Homo-oligomer: A and B are copies of this chain.
Amino acid sequence: MKFVIIGGDAAGMSAASRARRLDPQIEVMVLEQTLDVSYSACGMPYNIADAKRSIEDLVVRRAEVFRQKQGIDLRTGRCVERIDPASGTVSGSDTNGQPFQEAYDQLLIATGAAALRPDLPGFSLPGVMVLKSLDQGRRIKTFLKERSVRQVVIIGMGYVALEMAESLRALGIGVAMVKPRPAFLPWMPEEMARLVLDEVHANDVRTHAGQAVTSIEMTAGTRPSLTVHCEQTDLAADMVLVAVGVSPNSALAAAAGLELSVGRSIAVDRRMRTSAANIYAAGDCADAYHVVSGRKTWIPLALRANRAGWAVADNVCGKLTELQGVAGTAVFRVFGLQVARTGLTEREARTCGFEPVPVVIKTRSRAHAHPGASDIWVHMLADKPSGRLLGVQMVGREGVAHRINAPAVALHNGMTVEQYAQCDLAYAPPFGPTWDPTLTAANQILKKL
């Protein structure tokens, strides 16, 4: 049996490795467009912040290891251009322009997602960067080093934009951020988003929210050489980072007639099967069920990509595996703050037919009278008629990142807030108050239900 995988990052290589382990008889072939496989994409902002480390440190396992130690037929520089479900073949061309064609018994599409690059004047100029693939990270790191960049404009204020703002400030580079919508972190309650914005400003990052970028212009020979034209202002930069989101690489699947889903991601069932026989999809290109709403969603995150890759390998090897779905649990660091979320936002909850009751509470990161404490803010949402927990968001200087996981597990179990409020969570004075912040939020929301 021949198992062909398109894409050699998280989902693709997880599937390849596991299929090999489960069934040594299977022929496992990976076709990767770039020369990079199996790297920690999420680690790029932190690596870029450290001039002494090589970007190649982010490679988790080298291509030779997959080939020689694991016996995976890993082919890099192979761009798949067409999937033909009728004949069970994929075809494309290699880096030399030579065409290839491969037959498959089972196919996995693990093409990931790509950074969006708006179709506006100047967005393809040299020095205008995006960050999603390792090669894009490599280019940014090289550019920063070779051009002795002093000023960067970041377009976008999502988590990649914020992580990169922190990285660039760590390198002593001036940062300005701009985005078209006026609200900063619009998925978060305003008072909590304000805390994050204050932290960004406290680290000397200027922000310009509510301003669309109209074009980018280059003036040869001047420093800085780039001008980002916005609706009401112009921002000068040595480099521009476009971090306005990502989009699933689903064109190949769409052209083959496969069903698409939320945000043009590839529709898969709980076993990661697409609408075509013997074709699976996994990772940032595929959709998922949301455990709270039960509806399809598209949340490209690393853990899901790894897990979905494994599930595909299981199913390909005859070990039937279904995935429960995602809760949208995520955490990111913004300078000294930890920002975390799980479940639905208030707007999402309403869209999904819930009647969300919100609460925002402020508590402390350590026990009463324990020194060194800082504030922890918790936003919690419950459904009024059912009392069900719908989502939690947190901001704080410590004790946020791993705390989000307890309500995430609660969401997987469909717990009500009343049930969650009874959970026996850990307490010791250096690590939190007697009532965990998420329990305090639950106690408060119970009064409103």
Indicate if A326 sits at the interface (CB-CB under 8 A): yes
Task: Annotate A321-348 by CB proximity to B: 1 below 8 A, 0 otherwise.
Answer: 0011111111111000010101000000
Q: Does A143 contact B (CB under 8 A)?
A: no
Residue of A329, A371, A409 with most chain B CB atoms under a 10 A cut-off:
A409
Among B42, B326, B426, which residue has its beta carbon within 8 angstroms of that of A329? Answer: B426
Query: Which A residues, 9 to 23, have Cβ-Cβ distances below 8 Å to chain B?
Result: 10
**Once the chains are docked, how many angstroms separate the CA of A263 from the CA of B407?**
33
A325 contacts which chain B residues (CB < 8 A)?
424
Q: Which of B10, B301, B323, B406 contacts A408 (CB 8 A)?
A: B406
Closest to A302 in B: B434
B426 touches A404 (CB 8 A): yes
| B427 contacts A303, C-beta separation under 8 Å | yes
Segment at the B interface, from A144-152, A205-213, A230-238, A415-423: A415-423
Using an 8 Å CB-CB cutoff, how does the interface string of A406-449 with B read, 1 for contact, 0 for none? 11111011010001101111111111101110010000000000
Measured between beta carbons, the chain B residues less than 8 angstroms from A402 are: 399, 401-403, 405-406, 426, 431-432
Q: Out of B306, B342, B399, B431, which one reaches A426, CB within 8 Å? A: B342
Q: Which of B303, B368, B405, B439 contacts A403 (CB 8 A)?
A: B405
Residue A254 lies at the interface, judged by CB distance under 8 Å to chain B: no
From B43, B324, B333, give the contact of A419 (CB < 8 A). Answer: B324
Quick one: which of A302, A370, A423 has the most chain B CB within 10 A? A423
For the complex formed by this chain, how many copies does it contain in all? 2
Known interface pairs A43-B368, A406-B408, A412-B419; A425-B324 also in contact (CB < 8 Å):
no
Q: How far is the CA of A427 from the CA of B60 in the complex (A)?
A: 16
Bound-state Cα–Cα, A408 to B368, Å: 23
Contacts of A406 in B (CB 8 A): 402, 405-406, 408-409
* Interface check A304, CB cutoff 8 A: yes
A369 at the interface (CB under 8 A from B): yes
Nearest CB of B to A329, in Å: 5
Residues of B within 8 A of A307 (CB): 422
12 contacts between A and B (CB under 8 A): A42-B427, A46-B370, A46-B429, A53-B369, A291-B424, A303-B425, A331-B426, A401-B402, A402-B406, A408-B424, A409-B413, A409-B425
Given A40-B429, A53-B369, A405-B425, 5 additional A-B pairs, CB 8 A? A40-B367, A46-B370, A303-B436, A405-B436, A412-B422
